[in-house]
Structure 1
């Protein structure tokens, strides 16, 4: 910084010496000029005025001011004649060149800037301010934190601040601007004793976020809560469900060891901890009590875990639940190469279902509404529901976490998926439930299922399929020793686990009821004795014949069920299912299938079977005289009946069943070894039944017939399918005659292999 030179006072030169004044000759006075001319007389007069002299006084020399000598100047060596010097802006120290600050002042400024920046950063930073929960005590606080408290009393010497009912202290000084009840942010000046003597000071922070400080407690696993009744505990877990009651809010929490209920109450019917959402990892502190016979925690605090702790907890829970969900290694109920090749997929299906139970997800079972499908659903139900009740503390857990619904069609229809998604999303919104695991039994494998499966997958819903319908063309195959051990089909893109005998070289003779029962046995081995006769019922209901079927019949016989009685059970299941329609008929079907209410089973079968036979006899009396019979040129015995005109409507048996009974009657007349095809049709549908002989000799397959008709009559809006020898076709009513004509042509064109 430039400033005036202190040596020369900004002149640029200094006095180096003195010499005699040339003007006065060293006398210091001017000569007397009064006798001289008028000009000089005037000058002398001015000099007297200047020095304020009387006429008799001598006049000092104006050059040396009466000193008799004058200064001799030389260039100032300090500023080199410039009159200015460069000094430090802060301390004034002489600096070379054009520098503004000396090194010491530069360093000092850097330190001051860092302090200023730190101060600014602290002023602008969002600070954490802690709110103590009701259980926190002196040992839980930290001197380096900010706290939010409430002023409870004001005295002349200061204000008393309460952080909670257990922790309080004094804020000293002038507190006249504060009032009782006011909330204030403070920091701890001193902790004078662990008995509660704390000095506070106000913390002036503009930006802050509140954090709840919970009592420092060791973590307790949910499985250990029974041992902690009456104690204050801390659990870390994941929120599975949130239920708002007319009183408290109920949170269902799980950790790696189990599940429990957390009751939180602020006001009756008001949501507690609204910041806590489904799936959050939380820390809960509260007292362990019992409610309705179940262990429950009355929450004192509930806070979300931090990001790192959340990640660790989720991994801990995920690893533990995956291990717990792994099914036991149990043998199949029967010996079967197909089952052995399917075993990895069946274990995967069992693992996914067990994991969903542990995750607190609803298991939504969909099954075909016939004997095979219902046996599948009931077998699964008997395995799953006990596990749900074991894992969930709620008394009505099975109603929250399990639903079984029949499907009219042998595939997952749009009507079904719309209902399922609607209820699932509504349960998520109203009851805080997770989206379900959908398990499709005796349906889900065919192309007709794809649209519904795609819609479910939009919501990332996990889907397990256990079916025995032909899935169509195999996309990939894993063949070893001439056997297929694994294959993929079109629906596999939309399902998470697909169990189907066709994928390992099997066929539909291994029924869905058998597959589902085996998977149920893997899920819960304890139900083996209860359900082991169900595959035999399913096989007889689906007219299946295979080595596995004979073994299942033997298993059922060991329980005291004859083949004749099992057939009656299957027929009564179909009969009752017609009237139940879209209801699962849980109690009634349990009685018919002899898995519950065993004392009523015989009476129920007797009553239903008599009515079943009566209605079939009535239907056949109307239908049999109106069968159109012919033997086609290729040797196939073809039978056709208009079930819309020559059968009773809106009663049992339905058109498909009527066609089946007509087909059975023809077989009795001609023999099972004959190639027989029966077609029952209405205005916009057809139902096929065929003997194994026509399939084996001519390659008859309902799915192939439907595919050919889609190509030959594209304007008829055809769809349908089913098993090789039993299925249906749908079409537009106005083109019904053309479709039926071409169906007959296609069957007639079949040739022997």
Structure 2
């Protein structure tokens, strides 16, 4: 620390000698003050004023102030001319420049710090104040600890203090300054165990740390709660959901063995344990009871676990759930090389769905609104809902954790993803639900899906796709013995698991309904007998033909369903789907598909099929006479029908179906082995149907045609796609004629292989 030099008084120099004043020659007076006549002459006016002299007085020398001598200065040897020296900041002793405190004071400080640290440690140790949870009893308390309680009654001899409902005692002495309801910190002076009485004294602490003292009881796994009814238990788990009712707060907690419902109540409609959030690892103490036929714990306390215990619990739960989510090793319903190559992906899809169920995430299923897509969705529904009800304690778990919605288009539209995200985020905000697992069935594989998939991925939502539409160009592929065993496509960047026969060398003839039913069987083998006929319905509804289809038809026959009846079911599904539009039709579709309400199935099919035939006949009477038929130069039979002008609008069948019925009628006339293409068009759309022969002989592919037309008429905003022999094209109405002309040109340019 710097201080003023004591030698030079901060000047920086000291007097070492005196010498005669040069100004006055040692006289001490001004030399020219008088003339010869001894009269005042030329006196310095400043000097006169300074010394208050009269006209005839002697004038002192201004330099030496009349002394005749002046001082001689040299640089101060102590401060070296700086005027400052370094001193100890505690005692002021002069010390070396590189220190700010002297050795004596430094040692003194160390001793004082050690004493302070020791005091502070003792002080902090005494600041822990414990709050008893509602389960603690007298045997759980310790005389050496401080406790926080509440005054419940005041008498002249003291105040009664309650630590919880089980532990209370008397704080003796003058209690005139206290009042009922006041919280106090006390220590125990005596425990009269034989009488069950405790004496307290007030503890005066300025600052303290509150710690919760919980009753030490062993952990119970959730799957053991049934055996513990009426008992106090402790469970450690992760918060899956928080629901605020008009009464208690309901917490859904899961551990490595299962999921439990915890009811916590402070005030009606008021959130209990507001510090507990979704995903927290907690310890719950409470009594096991039954509510609404389900086991429930009435919480006495709920606390967050520490960081280390949280890490251990999460790992324990994660390992256990991964093991439980692993699908059973069951055989496919039919024999198929394509299915065998797809098996790893199908098991992965099943594993992700099972894990989402165990995690308490909603399963959100989106499927195309036709027979194939609906069979896919219903098969999944029948496999998933029993598991949700098994692993979730809520009575209405299936409505919280499962949603199935149809999509009008055979791809994941922006309209669909906006609805799904909106509901998911709202459920997360209002009901404390986790973000869902999205499962796309009979859609999700094409480039048209990418924008919607990207939007869902912004929220890190997990997505599983099970589809049979052509995904376009394979980005990477693994070929063995001429067969593709694995590949990736454009949508895989935004999809977590992608099941599609094209990725392993298959094609669209293995329908989404078949794939989804096989995955549903992996998810829950118990539903095999219930859903085993659905792939046959999906195949006939999608006009699929392959070896697997015949095997699925045989399975349906084993259940008593003829091929003709299966076809009726598929047509009734399409008919009813038209009127259900965006509703999933659960119940109605179950009856039509013979997976529930079995006694009503035959009556429903009879009623719907008659109306179905009637409406199809009415539509064909309007369209058949107006088909423009021609055989192109390359041999392809091309048929054109304006479904906007020559078909009934806003009724079943819709334009796509109408085109299909027209195409079927022409096939009956010409034969299935002929290369036939039918195009039903409106002002801004077209619907393709083609025979397998035109695909095999000419390489006809709807997706290729759409791509070419988009390049040749870029201003028309061409979009669309689908299967090789069935799909659609969209364009700007004003350029409709040009687009159709280019389509005909492109088909006419095809040549035989």
TM superposition score category, shorter chain reference: 0.7 to 0.9
Secondary structure of 1:479 counterpart = strand
Establish whether residue 313 from structure 1 lines up as the match of residue 313 from structure 2: yes
Q: Which runs of 5+ in 1 are unaligned?
A: 1-88, 91-97
> Residue 440 of structure 1 contacts residue 465 of structure 1 at CA under 8 Å; is this kept in 2?
yes
> 1:161, CA displacement in angstroms?
3.5
What is aligned with 1:562?
A: 562
Tell me the residue number matched to 1:62.
none
Q: Distance in 1 between matches of 2:355 and 2:408?
A: 29
TM superposition shift of 1:573 = 0.5
Aligned to 2:254: 254
Give me the whole-angstrom Cα distance separating, in 1, the residues matched to 2:127 and 2:654: 73
Q: CA deviation at 1:513?
A: 0.3
Residues 188, 198 of structure 2: 8 Å contact kept? no
- Residues 174-573 of structure 1 mapped to structure 2, 5 A cutoff: 177-187=177-187, 195=196, 197=198, 199-206=200-207, 208-573=208-573
Q: TM-score, normalised by structure 1?
A: 0.83
> CA–CA distance in 2 between the matches of 1:186 and 1:490?
69
Answer yes or no: is the 8 Å Cα contact 1:239–1:251 preserved in 2. yes
Q: Residues of 2 paired with 1:500 and 1:321: CA distance? A: 27
Partner of 2:76: none
Q: 2:677: which partner in 1?
A: 677
Matched residue of 2:688: which SS? Answer: strand
Equivalents in 2 of 1:379, 1:295: separation in Å?
30
State the 1:185 CA deviation.
Answer: 3.2
Find the aligned partners of 1:249 and 1:269 in 2 and give their Cα distance: 8
Q: Using the alignment, how far apart are the partners of 2:478 and 2:561 within structure 1?
A: 39
Gap change, CA 1:668 and 1:250, over 3 Å in 2: same
Which structure has the larger Rg over C-alpha atoms? 1
Partner of 1:690: 690
Quick one: distance in 2 between partners of 1:706 and 1:265? 62
- In structure 2, the partner of 1:17 is none
Cα distance change, pair 651–205 in 1 and its aligned pair in 2 (3 A): same
Deviations 1:172-218 (A, max 9, x none): 66655444432123455676759553544414233x55443322111
Q: Deviations over 1:298-339 (max 9, x none)?
A: 111111111111111111111111111111000000000000
The SS at the match of 1:239 is: strand
Distance 2:490 2:144 in 1: 62
RMSD: 2.4
Q: Is the 8 A contact 1:285 1:299 kept in 2?
A: yes
User: In 2, distance between residues paired with 1:231 and 1:669?
Assistant: 77
Instruction: For residue 117 of structure 1, report the CA deviation from its aligned partner.
Output: 3.7
Separation of aligned partners in 1, 2:424 and 2:100 = 77
CA distance in structure 2 between the aligned counterparts of 1:124 and 1:687, rounded to whole angstroms: 80
User: Which position in structure 1 is the counterpart of 2:636?
Assistant: 636
CA distance in 1, matches of 2:244, 2:677: 58
2:171 is equivalent to residue 167 of structure 1: no
Distance 1:662 1:362, change over 3 A: same
Residues 184 and 202 in structure 2, CA contact (< 8 A), matched pair in contact too: no
Secondary structure at 1:687 match in 2: strand
Equivalents in 1 of 2:595, 2:415: separation in Å?
30
Q: Deviations over 1:437-472 (max 9, x none)?
A: 110000000000011111111111111100000011
- The answer on whether the counterparts of 1:376 and 1:516 sit within 8 Å (CA) in structure 2 is yes
Higher deviation after alignment, 188-197 or 628-637: 188-197
Task: Give the whole-Å Cα distance in 2 for the aligned partners of 1:537 and 1:100.
Answer: 94
For the structure 1 residues 448 and 196, does the alpha-carbon distance in structure 2 shift closer, same or farther, using more than 3 Å as the test? farther
Q: Distance in 2 between matches of 1:673 and 1:525?
A: 40
* Aligned-partner SS, 2:404: strand
C-alpha change, 1:567 and 1:128, in structure 2 (3 Å) is farther
- 2:24 corresponds to which residue? none
Cα shift at 1:706: 1.1
TM-score, normalised via structure 2 length:
0.83
Match in the other structure for 1:627: 627
Aligned-pair CA distance for 1:244: 1.4
SS at match of 2:587: helix
CA displacement, residues 584-611 of structure 1 (integer Å, 9 cap, x when unaligned): 1111111111111111111111111111
Aligned residues: 656
Taking a change above 3 Å as real, the CA distance of residues 249 and 554 of structure 1, as seen in their structure-2 partners, is same
1:150 deviation in Å? 1.9
Mapped contact 2:536–2:553 kept (Cα < 8 A): yes
Distance in 2 between residues matched to 1:211 and 1:736, nearest whole Å: 76
Distance 1:126 1:700 in 2: 86
Contact 1:189 1:201 in 2 (8 A): no
Rounded Cα–Cα distance in structure 2 between residues aligned with 1:126 and 1:555: 76
- Going from structure 1 to structure 2, the CA distance change for 1:125 and 1:460 (only over 3 Å counts) comes to farther
Could you give the per-residue CA deviations for residues 79-114 of structure 1, whole angstroms, max 9, x where no partner exists? Answer: xxxxxxxxxx99xxxxxxx999998x9767534322
User: For the Cα contact (< 8 Å) 1:700–1:750, is it kept in 2?
Assistant: yes
